[in-house]
A and B are shown apart, each in its own frame.
Chain A
Amino acid sequence: DQQVKQNSPSLSVQEGRISILNCDYTNSMFDYFLWYKKYPAEGPTFLISISSIKDKNEDGRFTVFLNKSAKHLSLHIVPSQPGDSAVYFCAASGVYSGGGADGLTFGKGTHLIIQP
């Protein structure tokens, strides 16, 4: 049973336009959400995160939006650049074991392709 879902395996966007990557989750215990960027055969790179007490967090070209009632978050990249072409993973963390630093639950990723 997938607790974090990225329903679009791939997304193609023109350079300069906005890229919007979506993520849904089912577990209401999740309280911290992250986005990672990953190239093949490399480790994921942390991009941006958001706590459940917020509904928006912005860092340069990257903005993450959280809709708790819909259990949905999205990553906006504006403007999209060729170097943004990669696989993007949504991940979630929750308070399970007494507030410890538990592992993350990942979606399966969305392959973003920026077209010139």
Chain B
Amino acid sequence: DGGITQSPKYLFRKEGQNVTLSCEQNLNHDAMYWYRQDPGQGLRLIYYSQIVNDFQKGDIAEGYSVSREKKESFPLTVTSAQKNPTAFYLCASSMGRAGGNTQYFGPGTRLTVL
């Protein structure tokens, strides 16, 4: 049963702490992405990776970091430098341009900073 998993579903963090959000896919997709959604807004791109050991900044990368050591995994770290970290975080994957760049999303992680 192929898909994208994100954990945890809900995450609470104290101000000033770093936190890492997990994203795993077993679709054998080359490309993976992180977006955030704020209330009443569309999704905004944080980081993306087209291939293992390579990643690029998206539109709102400040205060975030990523790694892509394995094809299946693309964890996102929200650092204390991120000014407004409370949001709904979504991970996606795609076959890349060869597949038309159709992206498939995980269920999301709701991060709340206390």
B105 pairs with A44, CB closer than 8 A: yes
* Of A34, A43, A104, A106, the contact of B106 (CB 8 Å cutoff): A43
B56 pairs with A97, CB closer than 8 A: yes
Min CB distance B83 to A, Å, is 21
What is the 8 Å Cβ interface bit string for chain B, positions 31-47, against chain A (1 contact, 0 not)? 10101000011111100
* Of A42, A95, A108, the contact of B42 (CB 8 Å cutoff): A108
A101 pairs with B96, CB closer than 8 A: yes
A44 pairs with B43, CB closer than 8 A: yes
Tell me, yes or no, whether A103 is within 8 Å of chain B by CB: yes
Known interface pairs A43-B107, A101-B50, A102-B48; A34-B90 also in contact (CB < 8 Å)? no
Footprint of A on B, CB under 8 Å?
A: 4, 6, 30-31, 33, 35, 40-45, 48, 50, 56, 58-59, 88, 90, 92, 94-97, 100-108, 110
B108 pairs with A102, CB closer than 8 A: no
Tell me, yes or no, whether A49 is within 8 Å of chain B by CB: yes
Min CB distance A52 to B, Å, is 11
Footprint of B on A, CB under 8 Å?
A: 4, 32, 34, 36, 41-46, 49, 51, 89, 91, 93, 95, 97, 99-109
In whole angstroms, what is the CA distance A106 to B41 when docked?
9
A104 contacts across to B, CB distance below 8 A: 33, 43, 45, 101, 103
Known interface pairs A32-B100, A45-B105; A106-B43 also in contact (CB < 8 Å)? yes
B105 pairs with A101, CB closer than 8 A: no
A43 pairs with B108, CB closer than 8 A: yes
